[in-house]
A and B are shown apart, each in its own frame.
Chain A
Amino acid sequence: MTTPASDERHERHETRLGRRGFLAGTAATAAALAADMTGLNVLKEQALAAELKRQEKRVILFWLAGGASQFETFDPKPGRPTGGPFRAIPTAVPGIHISELMPKMAQRIGHTAIVRSLNTRIADHGGGAELMQLGRRDEPSIRFPDLGAVVARELGRIDSEVPDYVSFYSSTEGRGSATRQAGFLGSRYAPMFLTAGTSPEYLQPLKTMSAVDHRERADLQAALGRQFARGRELPAVSSHSQAYARVRGLMASERLFDIEQESQAMRDRYGPTLFGQQTLTARRLIDAGVPFVKVGRAWWDSHGENFETHLELVSELDHVMSTLIDDLKSRGLLEQTLIVTLSEFGRTPQINQSLGRDHFASAWSATLTGCGVQGGSVYGKTDENGQTVVDGQIGAAPLFATIYQALGIDYEKEYQVGARPIPLTDPGTEPIDTILA
């Protein structure tokens, strides 16, 4: 299965995880190309893709669903009327303070860039989730791919039979807006979406069926399907055969989701929570070559009892994120893995009568850690009460351009969708250079 993409580092991973076992050859290449609805220049794209793949970049996105408070995480305002009861603590980097709820991240902030100046305007869950997962809003006539689908498309192996976009979201609250889309890239890049536990459903064959029968039955279905597809060369119809063509590869990736393969000590490090175990699974997945894993953690929507909610959720995030950073670092993977924390919006400076904070999109924070990022840096500034951005105000687009840049993806590239060229980010968008390595 050697392809130009397998350099030494790649080989090392393969040996450790036995990746050869589940990556078949290039048989799926034709199908994968046909799956692409964007009509790209295949040769040029392959050359570019090969180059990107040599870099083996990956993303783990912590999706803090419901809207995490910037005050109780990365932009504390201690002693101010809006600051709440928690203190700010110094970090390993002089001058940077974060909430006392994140003591472990404070020690590791040297790997992280904090963006404190998001003004994204949209403060309803559906609209905010759409904006912060797509980097823009859908237009009436076009559905955009979300961050995971773009990364899967740009960094995934075109012949990959492992999933290239896995998304965990176990809570029922907010699940509707957590499910995003592959948009014009097509379902080939839609996530494998897990709503429970750490392992997807239906990956194991039924005990009553032999592997040979399973395969021959699928081949039979594929052969019969070719007749029907003739004269019906439509994206919906071809997505059917392409999705079935991936079944065997996906089944072979089953053990990637099996955290029993990890030592008890390793599982203990990530902690007993579902979020911790899913993050450990995410690390297994990216280690095996899955380019994008989203771990959703809900429900941060603390209209009441903001401080109790954040005491629990931020403490967990602090522990899990720190463990992940340490783990990736010790595996030599941190330089090629970008960890992102993102929500649909932040929370209000005002503390309401129920000791809650409401939706707030005018001045809030996100973080980038690892791959391609200038660690220990802060971009942008809010006023002393966190009401407005006073320096470096940005919307979603520059943040997304920064993420693409950190991953080596050309944020100005264009996709041809029908007759219309669609740029990856809106023209004129610039990444935040100062937090890029």
Chain B
Amino acid sequence: MTTHSSLMCLTALCCLWPVAHARADQRPAASIGEIARVVDEQLDRALAKEGVQPAPPADEANLLRRLSLDLIGRIPTTPELQSWLAERSPEKRAQWIDRLTASPEFLAHQVNELDALLMYGTKGSLQEYLTVALREGRHWDRIFTDLMLAREDGSGLKGADQFLKVRIKDTDRLTNDVSMLFFGVNISCTQCHDHPLVDEWKQDHFYGLKSFFVRSFDNGGFLAEREYGVVSYKTPKGEDRAATLMFVSGTKPREPAAAEPSNDEKKAEMARFKEWAKQKVAPPAPKFSRRALLAELALRPGENRFFARSIVNRLWYRLMGYGLVMPLDQLRSENTASHPELLDWLSRDLIANGYDLTRTIRGLVLSKAYARSSQWTNGERPKAELFAVAQVRPLSPLQLAASLHVATTDPEFLATTEDPAEASRRVTSIVNQSRSLAPLFDMPQGDFQVGTTEPLLFSNGERIASELLSAGSGRLVGRLKQLSSSSEQLDTAYAAVLSRRPETSESELLAKYLDQRRPRPVEGLQQVVWALLSSAEFRFNY
């Protein structure tokens, strides 16, 4: 596609999607199994080179917990755990991955994860848009395009404008957010000067990218875009410069010439925008939109490696606990990936698959590397970038809230239906109820550590006691108090909360604890369940 012809079809961009995919599809898509195979081949090669023997596979129960948290955003229920442990098929993992990724809970969790990625720290939310977009099967390239076009005239999906809308008043930040979130490069320091450490990032990059957004503005609560306007900036030497459109790759796309209108024309234009604002309608899209050009340019063959590598690296980080490139916003040539060929392969595969993130996710969680134990007892833990041992990852606030509520629901209530649709409805309703708990927890960022607020909340918070430790019917403690032996109670509590059987040493310790509280058994059970819920084991995806 030449620059010129691509400009011609910008307004019809949406209709072109299937065609665009077919063209980009230079290579047949790999199967899910092939993705997993390539991942393991590449990681094993590096491990062999370093002479590191990777950790053994995580045990079965541990693996289901990990898969459930990663794919459906919560721990498994007791019935799910039992049925997983009972299955003996060699294809078990692949079948469960298919089942989990086909469930509505998978979509909901993807929405949460993408919303957190794109909107955390802003006042907006993409929940509404992403829910419909993912249900319709829109892939990552289409989502990016929707967010950049931000159509509000009814032709796009509702809520897609949120990404730009909450950022439009600060174009500098918008520019850097787009650059970091979609292209994996943080260019914020090139705002004032050429990057001090990175030769390839110049001031031109920042203002070149900013130029795609400079014509956009908030018009009475609606996004508007003019057909003219340039960014001017000062170099550190004090020179004034007008920026040229430039993508993060350095490519300078051509665009129709846009003369600055006369003052009278500007006045007339201003009156039109005022009128639209007054009538509370979205201004029409311009004939030529720089934002639309960015959406198209970033996905062009040759230019799309930033877009593809960035999301592959983020998915890898999400599932493996450490990126192929770290930090996640430093995807530049000097900062090499730990496994450059693998990152390239996965990126090309993603492009070939039309940016279907679900396929990549399924491939990664099918790998041996994903399923390794997180425990390392042979001396010094190997470097994270070898992926020799699984990382221990903090749960997101929503994962934690959902898991707390699932864990403390009476397992019998979840087991009493054979109908998978009904079981799914029950769990979904529990998860929905848990959402209001999530804002009480910290969003993990970078090197997560537990601060003092969370332990105080767990220790003394009214909601923890009343929502999670209630002995009423339908609740875990309510069920436990009806069981006759402490071993039955502990097996049930462990399956519900920690998704495993208790070790002998744990059973002994806890049986003694319960025994000492025999005159007030409910309190004893509440304390035991609290100790499990507030444990590090529960707090992390390990």
- A interface residue numbers (CB < 8 A to B): 121, 124, 126-127, 140-141, 143, 163, 176, 182, 186-187, 190, 192-193, 200-206, 208, 213-214, 216-218, 220-221, 223-225, 227-237, 239-244, 246-247, 250-251
Nearest-neighbour CB distance to chain A for B122, whole angstroms, equals 10
A182 to chain B: which residues have CB within 8 Å? 449
B192 touches A121 (CB 8 A): yes
Task: Select which of B330, B459, B537 is within 8 A of A140 by beta carbon.
Answer: B330
B450 to chain A: which residues have CB within 8 Å? 187, 236, 239-240, 242-244
Interface residues of B in 329-344 (CB under 8 A from A): 329-330
Task: Select which of B330, B394, B459, B535 is within 8 A of A202 by beta carbon.
Answer: B459
Contact of A250 with B506 at beta-carbon distance under 8 Å, contacts A220-B528, A224-B535, A233-B381 already known: no
B536 touches A240 (CB 8 A): yes
Q: A141 to B335, alpha carbons, bound, how many Å?
A: 11
Contact of A213 with B459 at beta-carbon distance under 8 Å, contacts A121-B192, A236-B540 already known: no
B537 touches A243 (CB 8 A): no
What does the 1/0 interface line of B495-525 toward A look like (CB < 8 Å)? 0000000010110011001000000000100
Q: A2 to B536, alpha carbons, bound, how many Å?
A: 33
Interface residues of B in 165-179 (CB under 8 A from A): 172-173
* 28 A-B pairs (CB sep. < 8 Å): A124-B173, A140-B186, A140-B327, A176-B121, A187-B449, A190-B451, A190-B452, A192-B452, A193-B453, A200-B456, A202-B453, A205-B460, A220-B527, A221-B530, A225-B536, A228-B535, A230-B375, A233-B381, A234-B381, A236-B449, A239-B449, A242-B450, A243-B452, A244-B450, A244-B455, A246-B455, A247-B455, A247-B456
Q: A57 to B450, alpha carbons, bound, how many Å?
A: 27
A237 to chain B: which residues have CB within 8 Å? 392, 536, 540
Nearest-neighbour CB distance to chain B for A389, whole angstroms, equals 17
B173 to chain A: which residues have CB within 8 Å? 124, 126
Nearest-neighbour CB distance to chain B for A212, whole angstroms, equals 11
A221 to chain B: which residues have CB within 8 Å? 530-531, 534-535
Task: Select which of A121, A208, A236 is within 8 A of B448 by beta carbon.
Answer: A236
A124 touches B455 (CB 8 A): no
A203 to chain B: which residues have CB within 8 Å? 456, 460
Task: Select which of B448, B449, B460, B535 is within 8 A of A251 by beta carbon.
Answer: B460
A229 touches B461 (CB 8 A): no
Q: A220 to B394, alpha carbons, bound, how many Å?
A: 22
Q: A218 to B374, alpha carbons, bound, how many Å?
A: 25
A213 to chain B: which residues have CB within 8 Å? 523, 527
Q: A220 to B374, alpha carbons, bound, how many Å?
A: 24
Nearest-neighbour CB distance to chain B for A341, whole angstroms, equals 26
A239 to chain B: which residues have CB within 8 Å? 448-450
B302 to chain A: which residues have CB within 8 Å? none
Q: A237 to B375, alpha carbons, bound, how many Å?
A: 12
B460 touches A224 (CB 8 A): no
A228 to chain B: which residues have CB within 8 Å? 535-537, 542
B539 within 8 A of A: yes
B449 touches A235 (CB 8 A): yes
A225 touches B537 (CB 8 A): yes
Contact of A231 with B532 at beta-carbon distance under 8 Å, contacts A140-B186, A251-B460 already known: no
A232 touches B392 (CB 8 A): yes
B60 to chain A: which residues have CB within 8 Å? none
Contact of A236 with B528 at beta-carbon distance under 8 Å, contacts A224-B506, A243-B451 already known: no
Nearest-neighbour CB distance to chain B for A228, whole angstroms, equals 4
Nearest-neighbour CB distance to chain A for B310, whole angstroms, equals 15
B377 within 8 A of A: yes
What 3 A-B pairs have minimum CB-CB distances, sorted nearest first?
A187-B449, A231-B375, A239-B449
B465 to chain A: which residues have CB within 8 Å? 206, 208
A186 to chain B: which residues have CB within 8 Å? 449
Task: Select which of A208, A232, A235, A247 is within 8 A of B447 by beta carbon.
Answer: A235
Q: A244 to B394, alpha carbons, bound, how many Å?
A: 16
Q: A206 to B456, alpha carbons, bound, how many Å?
A: 11
B326 to chain A: which residues have CB within 8 Å? 141
B90 to chain A: which residues have CB within 8 Å? none
Q: A143 to B374, alpha carbons, bound, how many Å?
A: 25
Task: Name the residue of chain B whose CB is nearest to the CB of A122.
Answer: B192
B456 touches A223 (CB 8 A): no
Nearest-neighbour CB distance to chain B for A103, whole angstroms, equals 38
Contact of A206 with B460 at beta-carbon distance under 8 Å, contacts A143-B447, A240-B536, A246-B452 already known: yes
Task: Select which of B462, B506, B531 is within 8 A of A217 by beta carbon.
Answer: B531
Task: Name the residue of chain A whose CB is nearest to the CB of B457.
Answer: A202
* Known contacts A190-B452, A232-B374, A236-B447; 13 further A-B pairs (Cβ under 8 A): A124-B173, A141-B327, A163-B452, A201-B457, A217-B530, A225-B537, A227-B503, A229-B536, A233-B381, A236-B540, A242-B450, A244-B450, A251-B459
B446 touches A240 (CB 8 A): no
Nearest-neighbour CB distance to chain A for B478, whole angstroms, equals 17
A204 touches B460 (CB 8 A): yes
Q: A182 to B394, alpha carbons, bound, how many Å?
A: 18
What does the 1/0 interface line of B430-466 toward A look like (CB < 8 Å)? 0000000000000000111111111111011110010
Which of the listed residues A124, A213, A236 has the most CB atoms from chain B within 10 Å of its own CB? A236
